[in-house]
């Protein structure tokens, strides 16, 4: 069945390649905007205090708790918000200057973040840039934005690692014992130099977490220190930082994205969520001004890389360490999905319009750049875009299938309003009859207690006791 579905989707892609929407005159209408951002720069993980004790002065220099968004990370996402405002509010006139929309009848943007605090704060920081002071309702210059977040145990749309925990741990174990171990042996010189700087053999798997995770955490720490413009740990050179970052990135790509099913559970339900957003705006008669016209999502680098691989796209930023065609993401990197509609190519005024997707990538350090997917035109017809994502899901199944996550939801029971039948009345006592069984014994106990208390009071008075 999966093979048949996959064959059908590939046929859609092949046919679409010959019938791509021609929008060279840019006569299309933008009807929906979706963005997906990596959170901004953050403080290192708390375990780095143990992994790299010689870097404690830098750890103490952060003005936020471990793992949390730094002021630099907030600035990065605020810059993303300003970019959106400059382009979609001021230039394209697509979004309103105010979060409250043109008619003040509904909010036109929707912000949702992964359950991690740094993702929620990133969404808020973007809101500061998109809706700066002075754009709030009259009488309150600031514009607070609501950010929707799930509890960590309920969040499956930004990753399914929680629901797929056992599979993830087994995959990590296998990688650490195989290719991961081999890469450590091959790069032992780099690791020993970094260990000397840190003051501990952080990569030996004996410092509180496994070797692969420890290498990632120490590499991240050095990069975050650089983002904060903190002095490098004594002895740390740019070349060693680059080499360690390259090794950690190789581990990330190999560990999480080697098999299609891994990509599926890393991205969780986000591809389905993205398609729902886009397809909901492609229905006949859709009016952007009366609906949500901008969906802003905020997650982790693992989601962006995974979604890129699912679409056949690899992030590549000049000057960053590269592995197999991909590079790490700059904090605050943002993907944009624009949904456009254009009159039907048939020229029939009654024919439904055609829809296509334009993709762009932006980061705080690089300009906005168009993305052309390998299997689709630059203006990718919506049906083909859906087919690209669905082809992967047809191959692996959804993350629920991959991880065998199929919880059974029982609807709440409603109290019966039916009169009891003769059988029920004869076979078991009704609720009212059961209540009377308890009322009489209770009343008798209360009466006995009252009489006893009265007798005790009379006993005390006869002996001239005064109760205290």
Q: How confident is the model at residue 210 (pLDDT cuts 50, 70, 90)?
A: very high
High-pLDDT (> 90) share of the chain, %: 74
* Alpha-carbon radius of gyration of the chain: 30
Q: Are residues 364 and 458 in the same domain?
A: no
Contacts of 248 by beta carbon, 8 Å cutoff, 6+ apart: 215, 216, 219, 220
**Inside any domain, residue 427:** no
**Inside any domain, residue 423:** no
Q: How confident is the model at residue 18 (pLDDT cuts 50, 70, 90)?
A: very low
- What's the rounded Cα separation, in Å, for the pair 73 and 433? 67
Q: By residue range, what is the domain housing residue 462?
A: 438-468
Q: How confident is the model at residue 344 (pLDDT cuts 50, 70, 90)?
A: confident
Phi, psi of 355 (to 5 degrees): -125, 145
Q: Are residues 329 and 459 in the same domain?
A: no
**Inside any domain, residue 66:** yes
User: Hey, how many other C-beta atoms are within 10 angstroms of the C-beta on 143?
Assistant: 18
Q: Are residues 444 and 306 in the same domain?
A: no
Q: How confident is the model at residue 441 (pLDDT cuts 50, 70, 90)?
A: low
Q: Are residues 375 and 453 in the same domain?
A: no
- What's the rounded Cα separation, in Å, for the pair 328 and 35? 19
Q: Are residues 444 and 357 in the same domain?
A: no
Q: Say which CATH number the domain at 346 has.
A: 3.40.50.1240
> What secondary structure letter does DSSP report for 187?
T
- Of 205-209, 241-245, 279-283, the poorest mean pLDDT is in 205-209
Per the CB < 8 A criterion, the answer to whether 324 and 253 are in contact is: yes
Over residues 147-196, the pLDDT tens digits come to 999 999 999 999 998 899 999 999 999 999 999 999 999 999 999 999 99
- What's the rounded Cα separation, in Å, for the pair 241 and 117? 27
**Inside any domain, residue 405:** no
**Inside any domain, residue 390:** no
Domain closes at, from 341, 356, 379: 379
Q: Are residues 245 and 336 in the same domain?
A: yes
Phi, psi of 400 (to 5 degrees): -65, -40
**Inside any domain, residue 465:** yes
Over residues 42-100, the pLDDT tens digits come to 999 999 999 999 999 999 999 999 999 999 999 999 999 999 999 999 999 999 999 98
Q: Are residues 90 and 184 in the same domain?
A: yes
Q: How confident is the model at residue 233 (pLDDT cuts 50, 70, 90)?
A: very high
Q: Are residues 140 and 269 in the same domain?
A: yes
pLDDT at 451: 52
The strand pairing partners of 341, in sequence order, are: 29, 355
Domain closes at, from 346, 379, 412: 379
- What's the rounded Cα separation, in Å, for the pair 380 and 378? 6
Q: Are residues 319 and 464 in the same domain?
A: no
HSE toward the beta carbon, residue 120, CA cutoff 13 A: 12
Q: Are residues 326 and 449 in the same domain?
A: no
**Inside any domain, residue 108:** yes
Phi, psi of 186 (to 5 degrees): -65, -30
pLDDT at residue 436 is higher than 70? no
- What's the rounded Cα separation, in Å, for the pair 394 and 456? 82
- What's the rounded Cα separation, in Å, for the pair 106 and 112? 17
Contacts of 318 by beta carbon, 8 Å cutoff, 6+ apart: none
Please report which residue ranges of 281-377 form alpha helices under DSSP H.
301-311
The pTM of the full predicted model, rounded to 2 decimals, is 0.83
Domain closes at, from 338, 353, 379: 379
- What's the rounded Cα separation, in Å, for the pair 293 and 300? 23
Q: Are residues 214 and 332 in the same domain?
A: yes
- What's the rounded Cα separation, in Å, for the pair 299 and 332? 10
**Inside any domain, residue 415:** no
- Of 84-88, 257-261, 297-301, 436-440, the poorest mean pLDDT is in 436-440
Residue (of 33, 119, 114) closest to 336 by Cα position = 33
**Number of structural domains found in the chain:** 2
Q: Are residues 371 and 450 in the same domain?
A: no
pLDDT at 4: 41
């Amino acid at each position: 069945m999966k093979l048949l579905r996959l064959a059908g989707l590939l046929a859609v892609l092949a046919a679409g390649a010959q019938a791509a929407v021609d929008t060279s005159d840019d006569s299309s209408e933008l009807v929906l905007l979706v963005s997906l951002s990596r959170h901004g720069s953050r403080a290192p993980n708390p375990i780095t205090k143990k992994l790299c004790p010689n870097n404690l002065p830098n750890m103490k220099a952060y003005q936020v708790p471990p793992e949390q968004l730094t002021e630099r990370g907030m600035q990065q996402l605020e810059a993303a918000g300003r970019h959106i405002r400059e382009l979609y509010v001021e230039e394209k006139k697509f979004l309103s200057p105010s979060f409250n929309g043109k008619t003040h009848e509904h909010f036109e943007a929707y912000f949702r973040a992964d359950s991690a605090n740094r993702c929620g704060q990133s969404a808020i920081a973007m809101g500061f840039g998109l809706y700066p002071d002075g754009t709030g309702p009259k009488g309150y210059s600031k514009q607070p934005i609501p950010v929707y977040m799930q509890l960590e145990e309920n969040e499956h749309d930004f990753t399914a690692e929680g629901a797929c925990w056992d599979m993830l741990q087994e995959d990590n174990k296998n990688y650490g014992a195989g290719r991961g171990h081999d890469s450590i042996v091959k790069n032992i010189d780099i690791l020993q130099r970094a260990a000397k700087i840190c003051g501990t053999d952080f990569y030996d798997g004996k410092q509180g977490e496994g070797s692969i995770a420890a290498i990632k955490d120490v590499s991240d720490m050095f990069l975050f220190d650089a983002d904060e413009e903190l002095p490098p740990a004594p002895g740390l050179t740019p070349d060693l930082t680059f080499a360690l970052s390259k090794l950690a990135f190789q581990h990330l790509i190999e560990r999480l994205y080697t098999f299609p099913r891994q990509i599926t559970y890393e991205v969780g339900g986000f591809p389905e969520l993205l398609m729902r957003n886009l397809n909901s705006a492609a229905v006949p008669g859709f009016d952007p001004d009366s609906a949500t016209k901008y969906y802003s999502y905020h997650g982790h680098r693992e989601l962006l890389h995974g979604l890129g691989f699912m679409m056949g796209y690899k992030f590549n930023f000049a000057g960053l360490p590269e592995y197999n065609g991909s590079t790490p993401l700059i904090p605050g990197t943002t993907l944009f999905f624009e949904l456009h509609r254009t009159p039907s190519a048939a020229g029939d005024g009654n024919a439904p319009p055609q829809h296509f997707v334009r993709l762009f990538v932006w980061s705080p350090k690089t300009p906005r750049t168009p993305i052309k997917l390998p299997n689709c035109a630059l203006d990718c017809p919506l049906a083909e875009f859906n087919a690209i994502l669905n082809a992967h899901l047809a191959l692996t199944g959804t993350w629920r299938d991959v991880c065998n996550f199929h919880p059974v939801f029982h609807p709440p029971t409603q109290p019966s309003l039916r009169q009891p039948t003769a059988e029920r009345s004869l076979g078991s006592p009704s609720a009212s009859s059961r209540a009377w069984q308890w009322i009489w014994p209770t009343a008798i106990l209360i009466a006995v207690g009252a009489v006893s208390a009265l007798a005790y009071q009379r006993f005390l008075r006869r002996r001239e006791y005064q109760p205290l």
